[in-house]
Structure formats: structure tokens, C-alpha cells
Amino acid sequence: MKAWLCSRNAHKARELERLLPGFAIEPLSADDYPPETGETYYANARAKADFGRERSGGREWVLAEDSGIEVSALGGRPGVESARYAPEGAPAIEKLLGELDGVRDREARYVSELVLLTPDGEELRGTGTLEGRIAEEPRGREGFGYDPVFVPEGETRTVAELGDDWKERHSHRARAARALAAALGVAVVLAGCGGTDPTSKRVLRAFFSGGRAARSLGQRFPHDPGTLPCTVYVKGVKLQASCSTDISLVRPARAVVTLTEAWNHGATAHTWFFFIRRDGTVQSVIQEGAPAPRT
């Protein structure tokens, strides 16, 4: 599926295309984007999405993002004003390091807010954050923006040193994209596109007979849409749970298989969203919630 990214930033387009399987993402070239004057990342992202929807004719997938870096010692600045703080790259880094000269508190975090508008105008969102600190000087050659001076929590290298492969798995934008993909999977399921028709059952059986992960999950999840009792272990305590299977067919050749285990009377849950071809082949998987340990 093609989606217009409401940004002229080709780096973001390529990064998001890798993070959102099934989408071909193209930057929307325009010289009159609305000013980023919102008080929140969401407000800015939504304004850009509305602009993109109008420009694309209102019948396309439209994706918008607003992101920023929040520095504790600067009271959360630059925050939503990151894009206007200074020209991107070396000038912005130089200004940031200048403001932090001699400051011991280097705590900071990246924030990303994604807004996706469907061709029908439905809004889906994903938010991601990455905690870390600001380095004393730029290091590394990959990434963009503040990556040469941002050291993620638990790491000693900057994002620019850790590289694009690390960034695709762990960045604030990667986390926002996973949340958005999960929201998209839920929306497809709730749309009721699948169900108990013969095609859905055939695709599910192909899925459960496929790779090792699917076969393992198939030992406790029903192979048809529905719910079965199952068992989880939380801190060594055996709990009764429910394991449910659902599927939604996404025309023309894809499907989303949703597997959910829920316990504590449904108050706690873990969900897998498998994005698959209709022959059962898994293209990607998103997980929401922490899985319960098993014995």
C-alpha cells in the first residue's frame, strides 16, 4: 500500500518504510506545510496529516510524524520546537552542546508521534520514546538529527555510532511505528473483514502449519477463530487464562492473524499481530504487552 509522508525528509520516509511492512512511503513535496505551532507532538502531526490528506485528494493513506528531543536540564526544551531550534545537523548540535556546556545533568529523551489517516479518514496513532543522555561531543557517522550526541539508556555509544540497524529496532521512531502497526492490526480486526468463512479457516491452518513460532503457538491457540482455556505462569504462580485467535483478510493477498492470551480476568493480556500472506507466510510480527512466563 502506498502512503504519503507529510514531510520533505527523505531520511524519515525510508526509515518508516522499513519500519511499517506492507507500505511504500513517499515524501509529499510541498512548500507550504502548516507551521508547527501546536503545543503537543500530536497536534503538529495531525495538522500535517490533515494538510497531506487535502493535498492528496482525500483518498490516499497519509502518514505524518512530529518528533523532538527533550533535555532535562533545559526544562524539556527544545521539545516540540526541535525543528525550529536551529538548522538540522551540525548547527543544532552545536547550539545544544553550547547550552549544556558545564552542565552535569545530561538526561534527555527522544519522542516520536505518528498519525496515520486511512483513505476513509480514520485516524490511527503510535507514540514512541527513547530515554538517554547527551554526550559531551558528537560521535558517529550514521543516523541524522541529534543522533551523534544522543546516547541511549544502557548504552555507551551514540545512536550515530550504534548505526542504522540498531536504530531500526530501538529508536523512538521504531517504537512509535510498532505501536502504530499494532493499532492498524487492531483496526483491521475490529473492521470484521475476516471471521469464520472458509478462506479465513484455510489461511489460518496454513499459518499454524508454517514456521516454528506459529507451530509452537498453535499448541495452545485454537486453529479456527475462537477462544480456548490455557495456562500462564506469573512469578511462578499458575493462572488460568484464555487464548484466542482471530483473523482478518486484507485484500487482495494479505491477512492479519491476531493471537491474544489474557489473564487476571482479562485485565492483563499479551497480543501477537502476525502480518501474513494468504499462503500463511509470515511477513512481520508486532507484539503488544509483556508475555507471561511459561514453565
C-alpha closest to that of 189 among 130, 254, 257, 126: 257
What is the grid cell recorded at 81? 520546537
CB under 8 Å to 150, separation ≥6 — which residues?
Answer: 69, 108, 110, 130, 132, 133, 134, 135, 158, 159
Q: How far is CA 277 from CA 190, 237, 283, 292, in A?
A: 19, 37, 7, 28
Alpha helices in 155-260 (DSSP H): 159-162, 164-170, 172-190, 198-208, 212-217
- Of all residues in the chain, what percent carry a pLDDT higher than 70? 92
| Average pLDDT value over all residues in the chain | 85
Residue found under cell 495456562: 231
Average pLDDT score over residue span 60-85 = 93
Name the phi and psi angles at 186, rounded to 5: -65, -45
Residue found under cell 499458575: 238
Average pLDDT score over residue span 169-187 = 78
CB 277, CB 283: distance < 8 Å: yes
Rounded Cα gap, residues 108 and 73, in angstroms: 8
Neighbours of 157 (CB within 10 A): 14
Average pLDDT score over residue span 50-61 = 87
List, in order of start, the domains of the chain with CATH numbers.
Answer: 2-189 (3.90.950.10), 193-288 (no CATH)
CB 93, CB 145: distance < 8 Å: no
Q: Convert the pLDDT of each residue in 144-157 to its tens digit.
A: 889 999 999 999 99
Rounded Cα gap, residues 189 and 8, in angstroms: 32
pLDDT at 13 over 80: yes
Q: How many CA atoms lie within 13 A of 120 on its CB side?
A: 5
Residue found under cell 558528537: 138
C-alpha closest to that of 177 among 13, 8, 60, 30: 13
pLDDT band at 196 (very low <50, low <70, confident <90, very high): low
Q: Which DSSP state fits 35?
A: P
Rounded Cα gap, residues 77 and 229, in angstroms: 49
Q: Convert the pLDDT of each residue in 214-270 to its tens digit.
A: 998 998 898 988 888 888 887 778 888 888 888 887 667 888 888 888 877 666 778
Q: What is the pLDDT of residue 234?
A: 74
Which residue is catalytic, options 32, 50, 66, 246?
66
pLDDT at 41 over 60: yes
Q: What is the pLDDT of residue 21?
A: 67
Rounded Cα gap, residues 95 and 83, in angstroms: 13
CB under 8 Å to 199, separation ≥6 — which residues?
Answer: 249, 278
- Residue 120 annotated to the active site: no
Q: What is the pLDDT of residue 193?
A: 46
